[in-house]
Amino acid sequence: MIIARGLQVEAGIRVLLHDASLALHAGDKVGLVGRNGAGKTTLMRVLAGVTSPAEGTIARSPTLGYLSQEAALPDLDRPDATALERILAARGVGAVQERMERTRQRIEASDGVERDRFIERFARHETEFETMGGWRAEAEARKVASSVGIGDTEIAQPVATMSGGQRRRVELARILFAESEVLLLDEPTNHLDLDAKSWLMGYLGEYQGALLVVSHDLPLLDEAITSVLALEDTSLEAYRGNYSHYLEERERRREARLKERRHQEEQAARLEATARRFKGTTQAMARRASTMETRAARIRDRMVDVSRRGPSVAVRFPQPEPSGRTPLTAEGLAKAFGDTVVFVDVDVHVERGERLIVIGLNGAGKTTLLRLLAGVEEADLGDVTVGYKASLGYYAQEHEQIHADTSVLEHMRMVSDQPDLTLRSVLGHFLLADKVEQAAGTLSGGEKTKLALAQIVMGGHNVLLLDEPTNNLDPQAKEALLAALAIYQGTVVMVSHDTEFVEALSPDRAILMPDGDSDFYDDSMLDLVALA
């Protein structure tokens, strides 16, 4: 349960939500919607207790699970904690299991009376573990982990060594395993493959607690939720029904408000016109005119507010200077993290102007390959060659190029020596004009995506390496990005699980990971894209 009253939520000097109230009870399944930057993520953090509201009160269930949109490494009791241990820690059995492990290590390192004492302690911990249903809990934890795409190898891997996407799946599994009374999920389908998404939709459909979810995955919103909260113009408006019904009802309400507003404007205008005719005549008529003006002013003060449709994102990649015929090649690439081999002997050959998509299951090495091509990481074996006049622009799905304490405008200065007026204009096209002096760490996930794309735009690159560029983008922003890529004359190498986006972009070739096999792309590969 969550009950909030008189909430005011702010980001810096901006008011995102004013004097709002909401109640979330068991069985409620609510989608929180709004344009990028409206304040959805900030509101979720406030409701979860991560940050405090500027004003208002919140009462919440003590058992609450919050999935952040960010994939930042969570605080860990032990730096070497595995994914399984992180998940089990959501219930008390995790702590008991850790005590068992520490005691077991002490048994091995001791002897005599001291060893006997540790054996007795281990037996007490083991009894406590069994009483709490520890072995059954571990089986449940593994089942949840597998359902969200964490394989047998990953579940034994230290969380600290995982990629952002892997960590986020671990956090999702941990939150679901905790059996919380309230779930606050911010973009839960990011980094999930098709099977994991399908499982999550079924899980949320049967979930008995209170659910508030932010997602740009429209099928999830349609299948899993029963009502919508729309965050717009610093206020919350409730709608019954799923996301599709919300879209229809929002337009119906807007048309009704427009109609009522026009009626009010006409009524006020008639009163004002009549008052003007009566003025300057008799004293009695002048008093009537004054009364009419007062009525007209009262009507105008109480006019129905009709929110304007917000401005649209405008993305335009400048047509770059052409590169050589082969802007990017790689031979014999291999990469491993510790004992985990990601891929070996992968070759890449990209032609000028080509659209290339990298396809593979979770953990197949798609992001790792892009990072090697971008020069962000070094391969253990093999070489990457940047061709003649090739300029690489890399978009990282975890926003690694975004620095939390650096302002939005300063991020643009990092990549361009253009005047601030030009940089501010570009940020305006990405709907970030009012956030230029704001620390980038305070931006929403969608706004960070827009800032990262704005940086690439100003780079004037002729080779774009894009890793899940549509994550966190609202539908309008996604369409704007697609339109910009459609007319971009440079080279694009991309990783994406967004089937609609990939189908519309129509790549020329595909590389299938982890083997690195290359083939001409056709729409039959969309099933593989969905599994990414």
Query: Per-residue pLDDT for 78 more than 70?
Result: no
Query: Per-residue pLDDT for 309 more than 60?
Result: no
Between 319 and 77, whose confidence is greater?
319
| Cβ-Cβ contacts under 8 Å for 437 (sequence gap 6 or more) | 407, 408, 409
Query: Per-residue pLDDT for 190 more than 90?
Result: no
Over residues 207-235, the pLDDT tens digits come to: 999 999 998 887 778 888 899 998 888 88
Burial 451-463 (b: 16+ CB within 10 A, else e): bbbbbbbbbbbbb
Structure tokens at 355: 């659209």
* pLDDT confidence tier of residue 74, bands split at 50, 70 and 90: low
Of the candidates 80, 19, 63, the one whose C-alpha atom is nearest the C-alpha of residue 233 is 19
What pLDDT is stored for residue 477 in this prediction? Answer: 81
Query: Per-residue pLDDT for 382 more than 80?
Result: yes
Average pLDDT over residues 54-70: 88
Domain spans, the chain: 328-530
Of the candidates 531, 475, 478, the one whose C-alpha atom is nearest the C-alpha of residue 197 is 531
Over residues 100-145, the pLDDT tens digits come to: 888 888 888 888 888 888 888 888 878 887 777 777 888 889 999 9
CATH of 328-530, one of 3.40.50.970, 3.40.50.300, 3.40.50.720, 3.50.50.60: 3.40.50.300
In the chain, what percentage of residues exceed pLDDT 90?
A: 28
* pLDDT confidence tier of residue 308, bands split at 50, 70 and 90: low
Q: How far is residue 511's CA from residue 455's CA, in Å, rounded to a whole number?
A: 27
Query: Per-residue pLDDT for 243 more than 80?
Result: yes
Query: Per-residue pLDDT for 73 more than 60?
Result: no
In the chain, what percentage of residues exceed pLDDT 70?
A: 95
Q: What is the 3-state secondary structure (H, E, C) of 300-315?
A: HHCCCCCCCCCCCCCC
What pLDDT is stored for residue 104 in this prediction? Answer: 85
Average pLDDT value for the chain:
85
pTM of the model: 0.69
What pLDDT is stored for residue 90 in this prediction? Answer: 83
Q: Where are the alpha helices (DSSP H) in 402-497?
A: 408-415, 420-429, 445-459, 475-487
* pLDDT confidence tier of residue 304, bands split at 50, 70 and 90: low
Over residues 326-357, the pLDDT tens digits come to: 999 999 999 988 777 889 999 999 999 999 99
Query: Per-residue pLDDT for 316 more than 80?
Result: no
Over residues 386-437, the pLDDT tens digits come to: 999 999 999 988 787 888 889 999 999 998 888 888 888 888 888 888 888 8
Over residues 151-169, the pLDDT tens digits come to: 888 888 888 777 777 888 8
Tokens 């009549």 belong to 274
Q: How far is residue 27's CA from residue 47's CA, in Å, rounded to a whole number?
A: 18
Of the candidates 258, 259, 250, 254, the one whose C-alpha atom is nearest the C-alpha of residue 229 is 250
What CA dihedral angle connects 12, 18, 19 and 24, to 10 degrees? -90
Q: Is 22 in a helix, a strand, or coil?
A: strand
Tokens 């016109």 belong to 273
Strand runs labelled E in 203-284: 210-214, 227-232, 235-240
Over residues 446-480, the pLDDT tens digits come to: 888 889 888 888 888 999 999 988 887 877 788 88
Between 206 and 285, whose confidence is greater?
206
